[in-house]
Amino acid sequence: MKKGPMSTPAEGKSDARQWYRRARRLMQAGKYREALEACSLAIDADREYAAAYFCRGACQYMLGRYRSAAADMDAATLFGYRDAQLWSRYETSRKEDDKT
C-alpha cells in the first residue's frame, strides 16, 4: 500500500475509522487540507460517518470555506453527531450577533 494522505486502504467501515483517525491527527497538527482529504476518504468508505462529516466541516471552516463547512455540519447533524448541532447553533447565533 502506498503511503501518504491520498493512498486508499481497502473499503469498509473499519477503513473509514482509519481515515478518520488520520484526519484527526492531521487536524491537530494544523494540516487542514490534508485532514480534509482524509475526512473525504473516510466519508467515501462510509457515507453515514457523522464524525467524519464534523471533522471535514471543521477543516472547511479553518480554511475559510464557510458554506462547505455548514453543509458538512448539517450532514453530521443529520447522521446524529451532537457536537455538530451545538456548532450550528453557535455559528447561527454568532452571525446574528454580527448583524447587530
- What are the pLDDT digits (tens) for 70-88? 999 999 999 988 877 666 6
pLDDT for residue 87: 66
pTM of the model: 0.75
> Residues of the chain with pLDDT > 70: what percent?
72
2 has a pLDDT exceeding 80: no
Q: What domains are defined for the chain?
A: 13-99 (1.25.40.10)
Contacts 24+ apart (CB under 8 A), 29-37: 32/59, 32/62, 32/63, 33/59, 33/63, 34/5, 35/59, 36/60, 36/63, 37/5, 37/6
